[in-house]
Amino acid sequence: MPEPDELLPLSPIVYHMLLALFDGEKHGYGIMKMVEDDTKGQMSIPLGTLYGSIKRMLAAGLIAETGERPDPDSDDERRRYYEITAFGQQVLRAETRRLSQQVALAEAKRVLG
């Protein structure tokens, strides 16, 4: 497994997907909706991009598929749920720290006036 810093910087899509899963496991549409809500509609992830990212995040060990379903009776059994892994949380923290440092630098230079 690589060090968390080796994966930085994350793309905005991967970062927001990790943030969406930080709250708890979700299926594909749940991730999509959460990212859209979190960004107040500024970012919407198209279907192909979402699943391409999911595939790469699974391969990188950032997320994992969960065996459990929140509501097995009313849900389609083909639906897959994903959760953030411990490594994914480390990467998310590392990226958040990196972004915070950049914002702090911009504030120190009074970029926003």
Partner 1 sequence: MRDTPLIDRAVRMLARILRLYPQAFRDAFAADMLLTFRDQCRAKYAKSGAVGVIGLWLITVLNVIWEAGREHTDSLARLGALAWMLGGALWVLIHLPINIGWLPIPIFALLLLIFGLACLLAQVALYARPITLIGFILTGLGQTSILAGYCAALFGLWDQTGVPSLVGTGLQCAGLLMLGLSMRYPNGPRTAWQ
Query: Which residues of this chain interact with partner 1, rule CB under 8 A?
Result: 2, 7, 9-12, 14, 27-29, 32, 46-57, 59-60, 62, 76, 78-80
Q: What is the DSSP letter of 76?
A: -
Q: Would you give the distance in Å from CA 102 to the centre of its chain?
A: 20
E strand map for 19-87: 26-27, 63-66, 81-84
Nearer to partner 1, 74 or 110 (CB): 74
Give least dist CB 38 to partner 1, A. 17
Give the DSSP letter of residue 23. Answer: T
Query: C-beta of 13: minimal distance to partner 1 in Å?
Result: 8
Strands in the chain per DSSP E = 26-27, 63-66, 81-84
CB of 32 to partner 1, least distance (A): 7
Task: Choose between 48 and 113: whose C-beta lies nearer to partner 1.
Answer: 48
